[in-house]
Chain A
Amino acid sequence: MAKLPVDQELAWKEMVIPNDLRAAAGTERAIVEEVERHGYGADATFAIRLAIEEALTNAIKHGNSNDPSRRVFVRYAVDARRAVVCVRDEGKGFNVEEVPDPTAPDRISLPNGRGIMLMRAYMDEITYSERGNEVRLVKVKQ
């Protein structure tokens, strides 16, 4: 966990969405469209879509505990070099280092727990805030 970079040079877009997976789908579409507009390739777009999906689902279901009164805050910036997406929930946070390995023999058959692993695999950078309620995802354009 770390203090998240401020990235002042980026042109951020921000949205606040209800704690609802359908609303999240609209946010995901907007970001993926932005990525595609900037000419990111199919592999990068696939990776970004998957990582955003996992980050938003985690924020809604785990961070915000599926509480419909809570909100999810999304900031994103896409340019010719990289796509940066930050997702913050209103929960108390968590310690990402304590998330168990979903590939362990006693966990491989469990239906949950793979979101963070997939974000780590597909993003070039993933950073959690000190509190753990915000994740910053970076994908470098190849």
Chain B
Amino acid sequence: MEIDIKRMAHLARIDLDPQDESTIATELEIILARISRLFEVDVEGVPPTFVMGAESMEPAEDLPHESLCRELVMECAPSVHDGYFKVPRESQGV
């Protein structure tokens, strides 16, 4: 199976330059061929393990607790305005 790199890069919101696009496509093709060995394994009736240690996990108590202060979080942001994250408009001319 081939990977449509352009579409995947769009879904992942990554701007790829054409040269990287071609080398990544070649490398992923090789990796995907290796990954296809998974189809040799008989997994009929085997439950998947998506989460590790799920059996010992307990939900946290639903109580308010101390968290990072807003000012500290905002200091990390590239751009803020009036206590909010500031970003460019969604599309030009709107």
Indicate whether A and B interact: no
Q: Which residues in A have some Cβ–Cβ distance to B below 8 Å?
A: none
